[in-house]
Amino acid sequence: MTQTHERIPTTHIGSLPRPPELLELLTRREDGEAVDPDEWESTVADATRDVVGRQAETGIDIANNGEQSRVSFNWYVADRLTGIEGKRETELWADLQAFPDYAEETFKTDVIDLSMHPVVTDAVEYVGREEAEAELDGFRAALAETDADFEDTFVTSASPSVVTATHVDEHYGDYEEYLFAVADAMAEEYELVADAGFTLQIDAPELLTVGHTAAYADEPLSAARDATRLHVDALNEALSNVPAEQVRLHTCWGSYEGPHHLDTDLVEMLPAIYEADISGLSVEQANPRHQHEYRAFADQPLPDGWTLIPGVVDVKTNVVDHPETIADRLERVADAVDDGTPLVAAPDCGFGTQAGIGMVDPEIAWAKLEALGEGAAIAGERIYG
């Protein structure tokens, strides 16, 4: 993790807009159609190079490959794990079930249908090394071709528990057995990213979204906290061979424009999240449902040595956040955390977490990232002089 007490660097949360030609190929692959391997490779390479170059032009300090080759931040694992076959319709989150007409029109697209979840029908093992290495090699090539000079680079990977939360189990029958089998499998990917020299970002929205899933919506808060602790235990097991200083974690209440009226409070969940073997934490702070929750970091201070990556740019509307507003969000977070806690400015979530479901127009997404840099510079001058 890049740490500084002199300025506020900028990053993002992994997924960035994909070009139309790549979305077309992703759609065809999702539909089970054959795609020419050479066309796929060249289209992904072009998209990755362009998105890396665009990050450099925008002034992002800590960059990645934009997840260009992935259909989503979580379901890409179906190409890297055994035992996943077919899909089954599942209930949407409890907050969306209260508004079914809105959910129906928002969460089903030509590329991906969020009500249809992949199904685990056999033992889960990691077989994605070749594909993961190709993705890492493509990122390295894009960095070299664009001659981009970033302070740090990162690669995202799905947490064990977001895999189990979004892949229906029809094999194990016991949730803990299923969870730790996935943790054991995903450990290979985590180690591969770390060994390649990149910062590993674990995407784990379920650490906070657990409260508004159908299984926990009517349960006491203690049940959601216990689930998060179990999920953190599985993550720690999967990260046992990865240095904590090389890991940052993103969690959120879901990167979708919805009611969110059943969301858990951050202050209640932080103690469990703080048990993770990581050194950087990314969490939403621009989301209008949760902008007040900067206070949680005063009530529950970050562990020593951690970097906080507050989301200070909204990813659910096409309003370009004003740099002064971004600076204000960063300042109040800085006032809440202990003196000396490093900050890295980021959006709330990714701009393309699910291919084809983009709340924000691609060009407006880049304008938001430009505003992020301007706001971070203003806040850095105010905070550090």
Number of separate domains in the chain: 1
- Model pLDDT, residue 354: 78
- Residue 182, domain member (yes or no): yes
- Mean pLDDT of residues grouped by 10 in the chain (385 residues)? 77 96 91 92 98 98 97 93 92 79 64 78 98 98 95 98 95 97 98 98 94 70 93 98 98 86 92 98 95 96 97 96 98 95 97 80 97 98 92
- Residue 284, domain member (yes or no): yes
- Residue 300, domain member (yes or no): yes
- pTM of the complete model: 0.95
- Residue 2, domain member (yes or no): no
- Residue 11, domain member (yes or no): no
Q: What are the b/e assignments for 172-210, b being 16+ CB within 10 Å? A: beeeeebbbbbbbbbbbbbbbbbebebbbbbbbbbbbbb
- Residue 40, domain member (yes or no): yes
Note whether 186 and 157 are within 8 A (CB). Answer: yes
- Residue 362, domain member (yes or no): yes
Please name the helix (run of DSSP H) or strand (run of DSSP E) that holds residue 248, with its range, or none.
Answer: strand 247-251
Query: CA-to-CA distance for 50 and 187, rounded, in angstroms?
Result: 30
**Domain with 180 in it: what CATH number?**
3.20.20.210
Q: Domain residues for 342?
A: 20-384
- Residue 6, domain member (yes or no): no
Query: CA-to-CA distance for 170 and 270, rounded, in angstroms?
Result: 32
